[in-house]
């Protein structure tokens, strides 16, 4: 076998038997070391000269363009530098005056954001509100696509969506449960469970907030509440009126539009609360939904005031289904709520329209306020075809906010009559669609697309709606 010292691949080949290097090897190493030192010296001189050249070049460049160098160095740090336009050396620098607007300091951020335009002193914003969103069995069947095995409710809102999307804040009453497919979808009035894709369609139509204080949301128990709340959030909307914790229960929902704080409260009448109690535990019932009591209203209003809220809206599920006039009970509570500090009271649950009133209210603190109460906004989407049950409105409230005075002023109130159109009541393909009544009546091309029965009903809906809601202070919009 060949030893390691006999080969030419190993450094041990020049060692003696004692393990020390031989004399010949030492001479070779001495020469090699000398050459290495010479090369190191040359490299050192080269590096030294190079450093001198770089320093001189940097000094000369900085003399002529120091701002450019600082900008480059700062950009390496992730900073944004504001470089003003140089002043001519022959001109004196101007003295700053207080009459101009100061140039803001640059934003220092690793990810620069575009400069935002300051908000005007006075702005306008519009809030749109609708009544109940109901989903019955025929609507669920209508939304089913047998080819994909999915449910699509987008056609329900295709015609009305532009009216909703034009608002700065859009609110609706979600009168159903979305507990998932595991428990089975149902449009039965005793066990509502709509496919969660309905919530996607609602969000796509332009709605921002869903109020949920109603019996239908609890048809699938506590799990139904949990699933529905999560599905609403996944659809990029917010819900209020039902809660998953005490923390949520005691914290009113507050949204902001251009710096204006708007609170949205939601309560349910005693009869609705009693119908929910058998479906969840007593402990859950203590914070799952708010019963309409003035003690709760006063507490929520006080929290809103402490949070510097500018406008307070309260939705209430109350009244009898099918009744077209407000009960004395609803009138009494509406007045008390407005006196306590609520600016807008909106009713849900009756599924038909009830009057809308604009009135000046003297608050409990002696101040006065321009308030709105709509005792019931009717049905926005539904499968019901009976007279009055198949229609509703979009209530539009336009306000003006002055950022200097902090005052919010109601400058316009109007409503858009709506009707749920059905293509064919004899098949599963009913194509439920919410349509703006006035637009279809005025547009002959659209009107001609409806059959004679639908045309007659559309005209009747306009008359019925304006008779119930018509006031000189509140106008119907075509």
Residues 417, 437 contacting (CB under 8 angstroms): yes
Q: What average pLDDT does the segment 400-406 reach?
A: 94
| pLDDT for residue 279 is more than 70 | yes
Position 93 scores a pLDDT of 35
Q: What average pLDDT does the segment 49-58 reach?
A: 68
Position 91 scores a pLDDT of 36
| Least trusted range by pLDDT, from 18-27, 161-170, 250-259, 385-394 | 18-27
d(CA 267, CA 64): 71
Q: Residue 327's Cα: distance from chain center in Å?
A: 34
Q: How far is CA 185 from CA 136, 146, 182, 299, 441, in A?
A: 10, 15, 8, 38, 36
Residues 353, 324 contacting (CB under 8 angstroms): yes
pTM, rounded to two decimals: 0.76
Residues 404, 443 contacting (CB under 8 angstroms): no
CA angle 155, 456, 355 (to 5 degrees): 80
Position 179 scores a pLDDT of 97
Work out the percent of the chain whose per-residue pLDDT is above 70: 75
Provide the mean pLDDT of the chain.
83
d(CA 351, CA 380): 9
d(CA 152, CA 320): 31
| pLDDT for residue 72 is more than 90 | no
Residues 450, 458 contacting (CB under 8 angstroms): yes
**What tens digit of pLDDT does each residue of 150-198 get?**
999 999 999 999 999 999 999 999 999 999 999 999 999 999 999 999 9
Q: What average pLDDT does the segment 258-270 reach?
A: 97
At 398 the three-state DSSP class reads strand
Q: How far is CA 232 from CA 354, 362, 454, in A?
A: 28, 37, 33
Determine how many CB atoms are found less than 10 A away from the CB of residue 120.
11
* Eight-state DSSP code of residue 105: P
Position 246 scores a pLDDT of 95
Identify which has the larger pLDDT, 262 or 18: 262
**What tens digit of pLDDT does each residue of 432-478 get?**
999 999 999 999 999 999 999 999 999 999 999 999 986 556 788 88
Q: What average pLDDT does the segment 346-351 reach?
A: 97
Position 427 scores a pLDDT of 67
The residue to which tokens 């004395």 are assigned: 328
Determine how many CB atoms are found less than 10 A away from the CB of residue 52.
10
| pLDDT for residue 249 is more than 50 | yes
Position 24 scores a pLDDT of 40
| pLDDT for residue 6 is more than 70 | no
Of 334, 320, 326, 208, give the one whose Cα is nearest residue 264: 208
Q: What average pLDDT does the segment 335-363 reach?
A: 97
Pairing of strands 150-151, 144-145: antiparallel
DSSP string computed for 314-347: EEEE-S-TT--S--HHHHHHHHHHHHHT-SEEEE
Of 439, 364, 343, give the one whose Cα is nearest residue 129: 343
């Amino acid at each position: 076998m060949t030893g390691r010292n006999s080969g030419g691949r190993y450094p041990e080949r020049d060692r003696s038997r004692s393990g020390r290097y031989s004399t010949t090897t030492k001479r070779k190493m001495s020469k090699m070391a000398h050459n290495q030192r010479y090369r190191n010296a040359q490299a050192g001189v080269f590096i030294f000269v190079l450093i001198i050249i770089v320093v001189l070049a940097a000094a000369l460049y900085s003399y002529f363009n120091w701002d450019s160098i600082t900008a480059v160095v700062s950009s390496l740090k992730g900073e944004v530098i504001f470089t003003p336009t140089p002043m001519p050396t022959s001109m004196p620098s101007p003295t700053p005056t207080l009459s101009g607007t100061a140039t803001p300091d640059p934003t220092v951020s690793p990810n620069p954001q575009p400069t935002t335009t300051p908000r005007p002193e006075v702005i306008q914003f519009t809030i749109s509100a609708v009544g109940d969103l109901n989903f019955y069995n025929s609507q669920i069947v209508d939304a089913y696509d047998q080819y994909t095995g999915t449910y699509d409710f987008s056609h329900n809102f295709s015609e009305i969506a532009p009216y909703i999307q034009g608002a700065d804040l859009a609110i609706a009453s979600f009168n159903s449960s979305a507990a998932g497919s595991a428990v089975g979808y149902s449009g039965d009035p005793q066990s509502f469970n709509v496919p969660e894709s309905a919530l996607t369609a609602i969000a796509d139509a332009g709605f921002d907030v869903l109020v949920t204080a109603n019996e239908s949301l609890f048809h699938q128990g506590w799990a139904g509440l949990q699933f529905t709340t999560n599905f609403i959030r996944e659809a990029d909307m917010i819900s209020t009126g039902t809660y998953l914790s005490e923390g949520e229960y005691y914290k009113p929902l507050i949204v902001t539009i251009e710096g204006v704080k708007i609170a949205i409260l939601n309560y349910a009448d005693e009869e609705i609360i009693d119908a929910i109690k058998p479906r969840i535990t007593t402990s859950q019932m203590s914070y799952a939904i708010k019963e309409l009591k003035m003690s709760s209203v006063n507490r929520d209003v006080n929290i809103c005031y402490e949070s510097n809220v500018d406008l307070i809206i309260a939705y209430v599920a109350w009244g009898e289904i099918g009744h077209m006039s407000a009960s004395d009970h609803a009138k009494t509570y509406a007045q008390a709520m407005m006196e306590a500090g609520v600016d807008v009271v909106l009713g849900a649950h009756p599924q038909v329209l009830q009057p809308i009133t604009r009135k000046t209210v003297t608050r409990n603190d002696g101040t006065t306020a321009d308030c709105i109460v709509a005792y019931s906004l009717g049905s926005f989407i539904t499968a019901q075809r009976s007279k009055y049950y198949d229609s509703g409105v979009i209530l539009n409230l336009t306000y003006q906010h002055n950022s200097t005075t902090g005052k919010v002023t109601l400058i316009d109130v109007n409503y858009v009559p709506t009707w749920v159109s059905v293509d064919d009541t004899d098949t599963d393909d009913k194509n439920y669609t919410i349509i703006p009544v006035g637009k279809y009546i005025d547009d002959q091309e659209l009107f001609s697309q409806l059959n004679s029965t639908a045309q007659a009903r559309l005209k009747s809906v306009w008359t019925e709606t304006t008779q119930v809601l018509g006031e000189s202070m509140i106008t119907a919009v075509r």
